[in-house]
């Protein structure tokens, strides 16, 4: 039995509420796959690199933050 056939069998046994929930979840999955943009916390990964492309060690950027505290 193929995976598609197994899915269809499981979906047949769902009640109306669960089927609607599954459809809503699938729609969300399709949208996120099309967008190609991560959502939530993953969206922040690499954000700083867009603003400042050169690599800086943790010590360097922490010293910059501490300089701002002294101002």
Task: Read off the DSSP letter of residue 33.
Answer: H
In a domain, residue 6? The reply is yes
Domain of 21?
1-36
Mean pLDDT of the chain: 83
The pLDDT of residue 43 is above 80: no
In a domain, residue 20? The reply is yes
Q: What is the pLDDT of residue 13?
A: 92
Label residue 22 exposed, middle or buried (CB < 10 Å: 0-12, 13-18, 19+): middle
In a domain, residue 8? The reply is yes
The pLDDT of residue 70 is above 70: yes
Report the number of distinct structural domains present in the chain.
Answer: 1
In a domain, residue 31? The reply is yes
């Amino acid at each position: 039995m193929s995976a598609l056939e197994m899915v269809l069998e499981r979906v047949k046994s769902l009640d109306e509420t669960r089927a609607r929930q599954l459809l809503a979840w699938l729609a969300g999955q399709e949208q996120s796959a099309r967008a190609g943009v991560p959502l939530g916390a993953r969206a922040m990964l690499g954000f700083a690199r867009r603003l400042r492309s050169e690599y800086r060690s943790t010590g360097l950027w922490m010293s910059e933050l501490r300089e701002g505290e002294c101002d």
